Amino acid sequence: MHWLDIQEIAEALAAAHDDIDPTIVSFPTLNALVLSLPNFAEKQGHPCNERILEAIQQAWIDERD
């Protein structure tokens, strides 16, 4: 998975970090959490940006609800 796999990332974060409240995670921390996921690999031409991190955070919040 890579940065554009928003829903897959959110599901993986929810499974791996059920002890973390995604509503209070900073973007630098979120970035590090995503990069640490076992099946994550950055894809050339698809860099991370604030919009992607916002989408991941919202999907993670939705996944927990």
Residue 27: both structure tokens together: 């973007």
22-46 residue pLDDT tens: 999 999 999 999 999 999 999 998 8
Cα 46 to the center of its chain, rounded Å: 14
How much is the average pLDDT of 5-17?
Answer: 97
Identify the structural domains of the chain with CATH numbers, from first to last. Answer: 6-64 (1.10.10.600)
Can you read off the two tokens belonging to residue 57?
A: 């955070």
